[in-house]
Structure 1
Amino acid sequence: MTRFVAIFEDNVGFDWVRRDHSGEHLAFLEANKTRIVLAGALRPGVDEHPSGGLWIFDVASADEAIALIESDPYFKLGLRKSYDLRVWGKPPFYGAVTL
């Protein structure tokens, strides 16, 4: 398995997607928590509204990560403007990291 990171940028004016469909999005994340091992919203500042997100995957391929991204209700409903998918590694001195 390979660890990937996706950083999402949201479309402006799509706050209704978060407001009306966050339950579906969270259920999707929970159903896929063995492959999307950590996820959360990104905000420009502490008290500001989300403008994107970050997911860490433990999957077999980039294609599997992309399939998950594009199956998410937030993606399907147009909230996500873009995403950047990268392979993620860490220096060996950190030892084992459990997410």
Structure 2
Amino acid sequence: MLSVSLVRAEDAYKYYTWTVTYGTRSPLGTPHQVILINGQFPGPQLDLVTNDNVVLNLINKLDEPFLLTWNDIKQRKNSWQDGVLGTNCPIPPNSNYTYKFQMKDQIGT
């Protein structure tokens, strides 16, 4: 008798730490103060696939509250962490917040 069992590995976890600061960049040809993520403008790219679990620690080094919104990112398990004011509070200066969610039916960057 042949026995076959399907084993599914645990969905991948992707860990990120983003530090938000001010910087000067010239996106339109003249210098402007912009918000940087890990010193980058635009911010870093997330390479994710469906079912990836995202754990992103965001550190706010600005002198004002900061709120990150996850526009067009479909979430499973924690859709209330989409960053919209009302479901999330802004991150106070010199504080951090860890977003935790699972990607849903999306592949891309």
- How high is the TM-score relative to the length of structure 1? 0.31
| Larger radius of gyration between Structure 1 and Structure 2 | 2
**As a proportion of its length, which structure holds more helix?**
1
